Amino acid sequence: METIKNYYFTDLSVMLGRSMRHHFRSVDTIITATIMPVALMLLFVYVLGGAIESGSNNYVNYLLPGVLLMAIANSMGYTSFRLFNDVQKGIFERFHSMPIARSAALWGHVLVSLVSNAVSVVVIILIAFIMGFRSPAGVLSWLAVIGILALFTLALTWLAAIPGLTAKTQDGAIAIAYPIHILPLISSAFVPTNTMPTVVSVFAENQPVTSIVNAMRALLNNQPVGNDIWIALAWCIGIMLVAYIFAMRAYKKRV
């Protein structure tokens, strides 16, 4: 065996710093990942909210979980896009010809997705507070909500990494963003699913975003979470593991 000193965490922190700069130097990314969901929240609460029968007297409370998921989903196109650029422009080749841990470059992108989404989530929750969001949830419930959001982010990030690493064109790399964007719209995020036509409501009831939204809503309202939380966790962890395996396989093929 070779005895090369291991600098994994140093390397990872350099990669993280690099991708963070990419994120925060792109006005476009910040608009899509943070400002757009806030704008949607304003739109739904102050324009459509009066007409929507959510069955709850505080529509911001009802809306917040879905808006958070939407913010996270919106940022995924950028993960694909940045990975695609690194592969195409030869930056990964440069890194891989250097004595650094091979997976550090990829994990840098994944961690940035976590950190930047955490920032977006905090900003959105603060604005929701200003708009009247209130929660009786205790520390444990909040931790559970944070955990679900982190898992959801990781699952989508690994999913977005696959086209980023394998796409032949930039358009192909970011195409993943579209189906991910649609999911929160066809879910219980904005209106109760029982108001939808049967076919749509069956889809909405059985797709990941609905159970994740319902679980978060129950946690934030101090209501019993029932099965939703387990279904939500199963979706997140399932997608994450499958996507991780395929992304890693694509990554190893690339290097």
Partner 1 sequence: MIPNEIAISVQGLKKSYKNIPVLKGVDFKVKTGSIFALLGSNGTGKTTIVKILTTLLKHDSGTAVVNGFDVASKPDSVRQSISLTGQFAAVDEILSGRENLIMIARLRHLKNPRQVADDLLKRFGLTDAANRRVSTYSGGMRRRLDIAMSLVGKSQLIFLDEPTTGLDPEARIEVWKFIKELSDNGTTVFLTTQYLEEAEQLADRIAILQNGRIIVNDTLTELKKLFPPTKVEYIEKQPTLEEIFLAIVGKKEEK
Give which of 182, 238, 184, 178 is closest to 209, Cα–Cα: 184
The torsion defined by the Cα of 93, 98, 99 and 104, in degrees rounded to 10, comes to -40
- 93 part of the interface to partner 1, by CB under 8 A: yes
Judged by CB under 8 A, the chain residues 136 through 165 that form the site for partner 1 are: none
Per-residue binding letters, 47-86, with partner 1 (x by CB under 8 A): ----------------------------------------
Cβ proximity to partner 1, 11 vs 228, nearer residue: 11
Does 7 participate in binding partner 1 (rule CB under 8 A)?
yes
- Nearer of residues 29 and 34 to partner 1, judged by Cβ: 29
| Binding status of residue 95 toward partner 1 by CB under 8 A | yes
Task: Please report the DSSP string for 44-83 in residue order.
Answer: IIIIIGGG---S-S-HHHHHHHHHHHHHHHHTHHHHHHHH
User: Which 3 state secondary structure label does DSSP give 29?
Assistant: helix
Interface with partner 1 includes 107 (CB under 8 A)? no
CA geometry: angle 60, 65, 70, nearest 5 deg: 110
Q: Is 4 in the site for partner 1 (CB under 8 A)?
A: yes
Q: Is 248 in the site for partner 1 (CB under 8 A)?
A: no
Minimum Å distance from CB 91 to partner 1? Answer: 5
| Cα→Cα distances 123→42, 52, 240, Å | 14, 25, 25
- Asked whether the beta carbons of 36 and 74 are under 8 A apart, the reply is yes
Name 218's Cβ contacts closer than 8 Å, sequence gap at least 6. 224, 225, 226, 228, 229
Q: How far apart are CB 230 and partner 1 at their closest, in Å?
A: 41
**Does 90 participate in binding partner 1 (rule CB under 8 A)?**
yes
Task: Answer for the pair 161, 113: CB distance below 8 angstroms, yes or no.
Answer: no
Q: Is 249 in the site for partner 1 (CB under 8 A)?
A: no
27 binds partner 1 (CB under 8 A): no
Binding site for partner 1 (CB under 8 A): 2, 4, 7, 10-11, 14, 17-18, 21-22, 25-26, 89-91, 93-100, 255
